[in-house]
Amino acid sequence: MNIKNYEQYGIDKKRKVLYRNFHEIDGKIFLVEISRNSLKVFILLFPNYETPDIFLCEVMADKKAQKLMADSNNLFEELIKKFHIKFGKLQI
């Protein structure tokens, strides 16, 4: 997905998408994208996939993301169940 102002959030334009699907988080449906480059993992939540310029994001180091995945039995769906939105920010 092409995102404007991706540099502002530290999102790599050439990231590799690992997972993309719709999920309900705190009573609202989001398009969840989990992607990575060689050093970081990017978690993006789009409340409206037709306007990709509006999103919530979390950028984390690869080691931290691997730990979270291991704690979630290496299943993206289990990881996403741990997501919460507080004060307009993604909490894991």
1 within some domain: no
Task: Give the structural domain span for 46.
Answer: 6-91
**Count of the separate structural domains present in the chain:** 1
Residue appearing with tokens 């404007």: 4
Calpha distance 85→91 (Å, rounded): 6
Which token pair is 19? Answer: 């997972």
**59 neighbors 11 (Cβ within 8 angstroms):** yes
Centre a 10 Å sphere on the Cβ of residue 34 and count the other Cβ atoms it contains.
20
pLDDT (tens digit per residue) in 32-43: 999 999 999 999
Name the 3-class secondary structure at 88. coil
Q: Is residue 61 part of a domain?
A: yes
Give per-10-residue mean pLDDT for the chain (92 aa): 70 92 96 95 93 90 96 96 93 91
Q: Is residue 77 part of a domain?
A: yes
* 20 within a domain of the structure (yes/no): yes
The pTM for the full model equals: 0.90
